[in-house]
Structure formats: structure tokens, C-alpha cells
Chain A
Amino acid sequence: MEANQILFIAIALLTVLSAAMVAFSNKLIHSAFALLATFTGFAMLYVYLSADFLAVTQIVVYVGGILILILFGVLMTHKIYSTTKKTAHNSLIVSLLGGILSAGLILFIISKAPWAPLLAKGFNPTTAIIGKEILTGYLLPFEIISVLLLGALIGAIYIARAEDK
């Protein structure tokens, strides 16, 4: 096995195991902190695919923004010390059926998907290309997203300051 593959398996294990911890951990706060490893694993996978800008943006947005918001939400939960995750107990047959069906669906898609072989290209910088594409070919989605975010920002401020009235 090549060193490259060992590295990939290590990254994949980190991502999948920490994601499993997010889902199965008994304490809410442990789930939230396990997300840190999952997001880092994602960023590593992007580096592995030589998408450097995407990897760094992933860390800035998910670890620096979303994870901190999630943590603040969890820390401000009432009686967090004694809260355990309450998993709903649905009937075994229905959940088993649902699980098998979605697993079959995913397997079907995997078997049909045209997997691209690992590109043999070198580690080319992507930042400049991404910048140009966003401001030329994908300008409309970019502008729509920025308007959407502005709306979310104003809405959040409105909700947060509602008590003043």
C-alpha cells in the first residue's frame, strides 16, 4: 500500500468515526465537540483532492462560524449537565424497513454512478480561478446568495432586538 493511500484511510477514518460519535454520543456536548474532528476531516479530504481554497474556507466557515454557534446554543441550553439525548423509540419494523430501503437506494446510486478516477494532476492553486468564475460565470447565484444572507442578517437583528419595542 502506498503512503498516499494510508493517509487517505487515516483521514477517512477520522471523519467517519467522529461523525459516528456525533450521532451516537450520549452527551450533547460531546456530540458538538466531535463535530470539530468531522469538519477538520472534511477539510483534509479537500486538501487531498487539491482544493486548497475550499479546504481553508471550510475551516473558516464551519469551525470558525457554525460550530461556535452550535456550541453557544448547546452551552446556553437549560440544565445541560443533566440533559441526555432522548432518542425516539419508533417501532422496530418501520425503522428497519426505512433503513434498508434507503441503504438499497444509496447502494443503487453508488453502483450506477460514473466514478471519476483520481486525477493525476498536480497541486494547482485554485483561488484565482474560483474568484474569476464567481464574478463572471456564476455572478447571478453569487448575488442571489448575498441578498439572501443580507436578509438573514436583518432578520436576525430584528428578532434579537424585538424586546425594545
Chain B
Amino acid sequence: MEPLVQFFYILLPFLRDWPEWLALTVIGIVAALLMFGFVAIFALFAIWLERKVSAHMQDRIGPMEVGGWHGWAQTIADTIKLLVKEDIVPENADRILFKLAPAIVFTAALAGFAVLPWTQDFIPADLNVGLLYILSVSSFAVIGILMGGWASNNKWSLYGAMRSASQMVSYEIPVALALLAVVMNAGTLSMRHLVMAQSGNILDWNVFNFFPLTAVAFIIYFVASLAEVNRTPFDLPEGESELVGGFHTEYSGMRFAFFFLGEYANMYVVSAIATTVFLGGWLPPFEFLSFIPGPIWFVGKAMTMVFIQMWLRWTLPRLRVDQLMYTCWKVLTPFSFAIILLIGLWKVI
């Protein structure tokens, strides 16, 4: 039985008396709502953090007024503003596709949360092909972005969508290859088993395995995942100096908010994959720290990765399109192939 179903059965014993399909449906809906709540709260916090980080890096102080303490309520105010804004659909837009696109992008981002292992017992679905599943649902986001870019009937949106799609499709290859280097050693695609294989102290984490080979794979994964989620230095799809706002130029109000929410959820998902595959998931770095519960380690490690993403955003300039393709095809891809070969060799010897 799924660990999550067991978790709910222990939490709410009366679910056992219900017919199985009803109990499973209720558990599924509740889990999905929990994840949605997490995404919403995470995005509120991450947007505030991004503003503070960017401000401090530019020697400013950022939002300070709303809510009192360091402007903590700034994003809540912004969200309310977005909610009450007029919902504009351009006259020549393809109405159906225009309205569908944010839903698809956000669904793709939320679907990734289904296999994230928060602790040994709390994982919404411990799929046998978990890692592959997360890579596959990310391709829905590409379709959603292309849909939004085309339906807006705006050349900047279309250019942004095309750039975004080609970038995400290209960088899927180094992402998959870098993860394959670890999967080859662990012999499983299940997110839970990937973490369980790393138990021990910090030196047993995959990032220090086959030192320095998997460490390089981790760096390749991190760089490529930045491109996957369209973050700086790979944020050409929304380069405001050339494309206004990229694929979401025409979006306003709640639909824009959903694109934004999807983007921040994706930031968390790629950080959580890095945490699971390379940084030991919910495991503490040292044995004596194991009194701190697993979810805190998991979220803490993932948030550290999110912070590094923000840090890079305000440190590095944007790449050109040719540099983007050069980095992917001539640097990251050959290096990840070399790492797979070397790890294979290491294992044979």
C-alpha cells in the first residue's frame, strides 16, 4: 500500500470503514490541496525573499512598509491586487487556448509534487518510476508555454514561447544524463529508495559518491535546471529589454499570477529533485542531528538551493542565445556523457 494512504489511515481511522475508492479519492484530493497550499505559501515567501535578496545585493533594503516587520506582507498585498485586477483577454487572442495555457503550466508544476519524498513515510505517491515521472511532467509545461505564447497573438509572446520551448527541450538532455549518473549507481528510479540508499552521514550523500564525479554531475544538473525553469542567467524567454515580458506579455490578473506561481513551484521542484538525488533528501548530515525531523531537513536543503538560484540571478548577466546553445550542447552534454562512462568504468573496476 502507498505510504501516504497508510499515513492517512493512521491519522483518520474512520477512513478504513469507507469503501476503498471513496477513501482513496478523498485522500488524493486532500493531498493535492495540501500541495497546492504549500505551493501558494512557498511562492508568497519566495517572492518576498527574492525581493529582499535582490535589494540587499544591490545595497538597497527592499520592501519595508507593508505588515511591519521587514515588509513581510508585501506579497500578500500584491496577490490581493492581482486577484481584484481586471481579467483582460486580447481581442484577437485565441480565447480557449489563452485561458487554458496558465492552467496547464501550473498543473505541470503541481504534478511534480506528487513524487517528492518529504520523509520516509510522507510521500504522496512512491512511484517505481518517480524520477522519470517528474522529468516527464515537466514537458507539459513546455506545451503550456507554447500554447500561451501562440494564443496571445503577439509577436513578443510567440518569440518568448519559442525561445523558452527550445531552451527547455535542449536542457532536458543534460538534466536527464546528470540524474542518470546517480540512478545507474543506485539502481532505482523511486524517489524514496534514492534517498534511503544515501543513509549515513554527509559523506554518504550521492554528491560525495565517486568523488569528484557525481559532484560534477550535481553541478551540471544545477546549471541545466536553472535553464529548465527559465531563471537567470538563462532567462532569455522573458528578456524584458528585447521581448517585453516573454510568453506572458499579454496576461494580467489571476492568469498571470498562475504563470508566476507555476514558475516558483518549478523552482522548488528542481531544488527538491537536487535535494533528493544528490543531497540526501530528508536525512540529516550527521547522526547526532537526527532529532530534527525529516521534513525540516528536506525543506531546508531545498530552500538553500532556491536561495542559491536567487543569488545567481542577481550576480550573473544574461547569456546570449548562441552562448545558451553552446553551453548546453558543447559543454554540459559531453561532460555528462563522460561522467556516465567514468562512473560505469569505476563500478566495473
Query: Chain A: residues with CB nearer than 8 A to chain B?
Result: 2-4, 27, 29-30, 33, 36, 52-53, 56-57, 59-60, 63-65, 67-68, 71-72, 75, 81, 125-127
The closest CB in chain A to the CB of B143 belongs to A36
A-B contact pairs, 10 of them (CB 8 A): A30-B96, A53-B128, A53-B132, A57-B132, A63-B139, A65-B169, A68-B146, A72-B162, A75-B158, A126-B128
Given contacts A29-B94, A29-B150, A56-B136, contact A67 B129 (CB under 8 A): no
The total of interchain contacts (Cβ-Cβ below 8 angstroms) comes to: 72
A64 touching B129, Cβ below 8 Å? no
Given contacts A75-B150, A75-B158, A127-B189, contact A63 B143 (CB under 8 A): yes
Tell me, in angstroms, the Cα distance from A15 to B143 when the chains sit together: 18
B128 touching A52, Cβ below 8 Å? yes
B135 within 8 A of A: yes
Given contacts A33-B97, A68-B165, A71-B146, contact A59 B128 (CB under 8 A): no
A-side contacts of B96, CB under 8 Å? 30
B-side contacts of A75, CB under 8 Å? 146, 150, 158, 162
Write the nearest CB–CB distance from A125 to chain B, whole angstroms.
Answer: 4
A-side contacts of B136, CB under 8 Å? 56-57, 59-60, 63-64
Tell me, in angstroms, the Cα distance from A29 to B236 when the chains sit together: 25
Partner among A27, A30, A72, A127 whose Cβ is within 8 Å of the Cβ of B165:
A72
B143 touching A127, Cβ below 8 Å? no
Query: Chain B: residues with CB nearer than 8 A to chain A?
Result: 21-22, 25, 94, 96-97, 104, 127-129, 132-133, 135-140, 142-143, 146-147, 150, 153, 158, 162, 165, 169, 172, 189
B139 touching A53, Cβ below 8 Å? no
**A interface: dominant SS:** helix
Which 10 A-B pairs have CB atoms at the shortest separation, nearest pair first? A64-B139, A3-B21, A125-B128, A59-B136, A60-B136, A56-B132, A56-B129, A56-B136, A63-B139, A52-B129
The closest CB in chain A to the CB of B92 belongs to A81
Tell me, in angstroms, the Cα distance from A95 to B346 when the chains sit together: 63
B-side contacts of A33, CB under 8 Å? 97, 143, 147
B129 touching A53, Cβ below 8 Å? yes
B-side contacts of A72, CB under 8 Å? 162, 165
A-side contacts of B104, CB under 8 Å? 36
B-side contacts of A36, CB under 8 Å? 104, 140, 143
Write the nearest CB–CB distance from B158 to chain A, whole angstroms.
Answer: 7
Tell me, in angstroms, the Cα distance from A33 to B142 when the chains sit together: 12
The closest CB in chain A to the CB of B132 belongs to A56
B127 touching A52, Cβ below 8 Å? yes
Tell me, in angstroms, the Cα distance from A52 to B130 when the chains sit together: 10
Tell me, in angstroms, the Cα distance from A4 to B165 when the chains sit together: 36
Besides the contacts A53-B128, A127-B128, what 12 more A-B pairs have beta carbons closer than 8 Å?
A: A2-B21, A3-B21, A3-B25, A52-B127, A52-B128, A57-B132, A59-B140, A65-B169, A71-B146, A72-B162, A75-B162, A126-B128
